[in-house]
């Protein structure tokens, strides 16, 4: 905004001094219309060039995720569509949401921007950083244990929300509470005895 006022001030000063700056206009050369034979030849050349180029190689996408199946939930083509949808949502929120007074709008703006950043990084290096996925962030990433940890006495440890293949299901909060009851220390109901002189 300050820049516009400086430009306006310069124009006003030039007008006061009587200096006129000629405005340069770009003159575009008119193209000659193509004949039907020329159009057909151009179409043939383009088709030949496209055939020589071959299918898209997607070099910008990381090699580890480049050839994922179309049904895979984190297929790069799906991720590109999610990025496009989220960018539209971000534009719809506008700059008022970024620096506005409404905390819910601000949270939504920054949450969406972080999600877009994570999706773009996934396409670059193949590491998925977010705990959600989908066009509207509607799905949750499920954690799977690769190797089980054990207590010193040999009983397995577990984290709620993680799928363990040895038990064949997701470890729940109820399972964790049952395990914690087994290992909880027994507390005494006696009050602390203080020595007096």
Whether 81 and 134 map to the same domain: the answer is yes
Segments forming the whole domain that contains residue 136? 76-140
In a domain, 147, yes or no: yes
* pLDDT tens digits, one per residue of 17-54: 777 766 667 778 888 888 999 999 999 999 999 888 88
* pLDDT tens digits, one per residue of 90-146: 988 888 888 888 888 999 999 999 999 999 999 999 999 999 999 999 999 888 998
Q: Is 133 helix (H, G, I), strand (E, B) or coil?
A: strand
Domain count of the fold of the chain: 2
pTM: 0.59
* pLDDT tens digits, one per residue of 134-185: 999 999 988 899 888 888 888 888 888 899 988 889 988 888 888 877 665 5
Is residue 188 a contact partner of residue 195, using CB atoms and an 8 Å limit?
no
Question: From the CB of residue 85, how many other CB atoms can be counted at a distance below 10 Å?
Answer: 14
In a domain, 101, yes or no: yes
């Amino acid at each position: 905004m300050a820049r516009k006022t400086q430009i306006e001030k310069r124009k006003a000063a030039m007008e006061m001094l009587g200096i006129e700056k000629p405005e340069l206009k770009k003159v575009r050369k008119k193209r000659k219309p193509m004949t039907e034979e020329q159009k057909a030849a151009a179409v043939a050349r383009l088709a030949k060039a496209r055939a020589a180029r071959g299918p898209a190689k997607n070099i910008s996408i990381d090699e580890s995720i480049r050839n994922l199946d179309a049904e895979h939930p984190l297929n790069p083509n799906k991720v590109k569509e999610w990025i496009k949808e989220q960018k539209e949502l971000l534009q719809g929120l506008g700059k008022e949401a970024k620096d506005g007074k409404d905390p819910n709008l601000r949270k939504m703006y920054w949450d969406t921007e972080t999600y877009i950043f994570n999706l773009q990084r996934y396409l670059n290096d193949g590491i998925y950083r977010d705990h959600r996925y989908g066009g509207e962030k509607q799905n949750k990433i499920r954690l799977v244990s690769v190797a089980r940890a054990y207590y010193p006495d040999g009983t397995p440890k577990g984290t709620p929300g993680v799928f363990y293949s040895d038990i064949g299901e997701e470890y729940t909060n109820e399972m964790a509470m049952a395990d914690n009851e087994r290992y909880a220390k027994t507390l005494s109901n006696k009050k602390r005895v203080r020595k007096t002189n």
